[in-house]
Structure 1
Amino acid sequence: MRRPTRTAVATGRRGRLAALVTVSGLGLLPAAGCASADDDLTAYQSDYANHRPLAVAGYPSAGSLEAVQKLLWRLADGNTAALAELASSDGTDAEHRATAGHWIDAYRPAAGQEVTADFHDDPTARQTVVLYFHATRQRKQISLRLDGRAGADGWRVLMRESDPAEATAEPTWAPETPGGGRPTGGPAF
């Protein structure tokens, strides 16, 4: 009599990856779909390893935190095209590129150094973030939102600051140091 095969239920990332590899090997999933997810993860891990850690205040969601990390990495790298790709669907490609260029000109020297992101508001669908660039004592307010139909495109950055003065204006409502919270009467989305 043959012994029954024991099956272990794996949990966590490795378990899901093993299940995807098994299912893909059976031809139930296209292997290219897995490669894309793996490529995204590898790119994120590489960016994370090659840049300075971000200090955080407030309550980001996993998606809004990732969007801010990518924004700072693109600023530090001086990559205008990659920064513009993080833009929400609001505005035009020309506005996104102009904003990205202005932000890189203004914040690139400090973006690769100590930065704190102070997340305000409930991160359900929109979030205001104040970036504190400690080396230069600059502050920059950015607005994030879930983009696409029902948020399917993930967290994106509002990039409609074609005027250099607007692109580099410091928020008048934000505290001088991170973690102070939003004062009453501060701007809302």
Structure 2
Amino acid sequence: MSRKIPRAALAALLTLAAGAPLTACSDDGARPAYQADYADHPPLRVTGHPSTGSLETVQRAVWALADRDADALAALDTEGGDAGSEARAWVGTYGKAADGEVTADFLDEGSVRQEVVLHFGGPRRTQELTVRIGDDGTWGVVLDAPDPKPAER
């Protein structure tokens, strides 16, 4: 007797079979850093219309805050020079708050520059920041000294 395999099941099997060689080719099976960071942190709530670059940059900044990683935050700075003191101030001000619920309001359009307001749920404070494409052609943060404001909720 011949048994027919449903089309949906056949499609799923073909998809798995096609992906198996790609998985086997990875050198150590590790997820790319961005995917690992994404999985290891609470989701960032987003409003507005971020570009791919502005969204990824803000996510990385919030993750660096949550991880209390001033070096990673300073590495996102677009202004050149030593951003270490500003990054340490941001981590001191928002590190603990970034562990909780964070909402990013992306203002205006974000093709090369975008203003973003971060809302930290725990301490109920907000912080404005600018993300933009830097001189090296990659997205980063204009890392000024933090200026926390009470949330307007």
8 A contact 1:126–1:143 mirrored in 2: yes
Q: Of the two structures, which has the highest relative contact order with CA contacts closer than 8 Å and spacing of 6 or more?
A: 2
Rounded to whole Å, the distance in 1 between the matches of 2:68 and 2:32 is 21
Structure 2 unaligned residues grouped into runs of 5+: 1-17
Q: For residue 128 of structure 1, give the secondary structure of its aligned residue in structure 2.
A: strand
Cα separation, 1, equivalents of 2:124 and 2:148: 13
**2:147 matched residue in structure 1:** 168
Structure 1 residue 51: deviation in Å? 0.4
Q: For residues 169 and 91 of structure 1, do their structure 2 counterparts lie closer, same or farther at Cα, with a shift above 3 Å needed? A: farther
Give the RMSD, CA atoms, in angstroms. 2.6
Q: Which aligned pairs between 1:39-118 and structure 2 lie closer than 5 A?
A: 42-88=32-78, 90-93=79-82, 96-118=83-105
Structure 1 unaligned segments of length 5 or more: list them.
Answer: 1-13, 22-33, 162-166, 178-189
Task: Give the drift of 1:43.
Answer: 0.6
CA offsets, 1:130-168, max 9 Å, x none? 00001110100010111125xx2x21100132xxxxx23
Asked if the contact 1:127/1:144 (under 8 Å) is kept, the reply is yes
Once the two structures are aligned, what percentage of the paired residues are identical? Answer: 41
CA offsets 1:50-79 (integer angstroms, 9 cap, x no match): 100000000000111000000000000001
TM superposition score normalised by structure 1: 0.63
What residue in structure 2 maps to residue 157 of structure 1?
141
Q: How many residues align?
A: 132
User: What is the letter of the counterpart of residue 152 of structure 2?
Assistant: E
